[in-house]
Amino acid sequence: MRIYSPLFYKASSLLCALALSACSSLAPHAPLPANGDISTHTLTNRLYQQQIQISGRITVHYQQNGKEQTLPGSFEWEQDKRVLRITLLSPLGQTLARITQSDGNALLEQDGKAPKQAHDLDQLLSEALGWTLPVGGLRDWLQGFMPNRTGQRIALTPEDQTLQADGWTLRYASWHEAPAFPKRIDLDRYTDEAGNVAIRIVVDQWKAP
C-alpha cells in the first residue's frame, strides 16, 4: 500500500491545471460565421451611423450598345449628416469618378471632363457612367438597414437575406462578425438604359467615430 504525501497531491494538481491550460491555448479558433450563423440579437442591436467611412470593392455588370460590359474596381464612401462623398477607383487605383451629394444637389467629377450637377443623382450617374448606382438606398443598405413605411430605419436580420427595395433586388451574401456589418451585397435590376445591371459590393473596411 502506497502512501502519498500532501506535496505529491499539490504537484499533481498543478500539473493537471497546466495541462488543461495548454489544451485550451492550443484549441483552434472558431471560424467566422456566415451570415446565417450570426445571431439575430447581434444584428438587431446595431445602431445606424450617421457619420461613417467605408471602403471596399465593387464589380458592375451592365450592357452598353448591345454588348455586355464588366467594370471592376474599388470605392471609398464617406458620409455625415449633410454630405456624402463617393470615390470610384479602377483596379489600378486610378480615380474614375468623384461624387458629392449635399442638400439635394449632386456633383459628378471625372478627370478630363467638365463637372456635372443635378438634383437626381441616380439619373446623372446613369447618363454619365452608362450604369446606375442607387446611392440613396446604399446609405441604408451598406449598413444593413432598411427603412419601413414611416421612414424609420430597421436593422436587418439573418432571415432578411434577399429583399426588394427601390426597384432593386438585394441579397446579403455574408456579414462581418464583430462588429456585425454587411460584408457582401449583391444588387440586381433591369434598366432601359443599361439592360440588366448587376452590382457586387464587398465591404473591406469601415470606420465610425
Per-domain boundaries in the chain: 37-207
Backbone angles phi, psi at 126, to 5 degrees: -60, -40
How distant, in Å, are the alpha carbons of 7, 168, 175, 180, 187 from that of 164?
Answer: 70, 6, 19, 22, 10
Closest Cα to residue 197, out of 108, 133, 124? 133
> What is the spatial distance between Cα 102 and Cα 172, in angstroms, rounded to a whole number?
28
Dihedral (Cα; 90, 166, 145, 152), 10-degree rounding: 140
Q: Quick one: pLDDT at residue 143?
A: 95
Q: Quick one: pLDDT at residue 14?
A: 37
CATH superfamily of 37-207: Lipoprotein localisation LolA/LolB/LppX (2.50.20.10)
* C-beta of residue 156 within 8 angstroms of C-beta of residue 42: no
pLDDT digits (tens, 9 = 90+) for 108-139: 999 889 999 988 888 888 888 889 899 989 99
> What is the spatial distance between Cα 86 and Cα 100, in angstroms, rounded to a whole number?
7
Q: Is 87 helix (H, G, I), strand (E, B) or coil?
A: strand
Q: Quick one: pLDDT at residue 126?
A: 84
- Residue 28 vs residue 133, higher pLDDT: 133
Q: What is the pTM of this model?
A: 0.78
Confidence of residue 39 (pLDDT cuts 50, 70, 90): low
Residue 1 has pLDDT above 70, yes or no: no
* C-beta of residue 81 within 8 angstroms of C-beta of residue 51: yes
Q: Quick one: pLDDT at residue 4?
A: 46
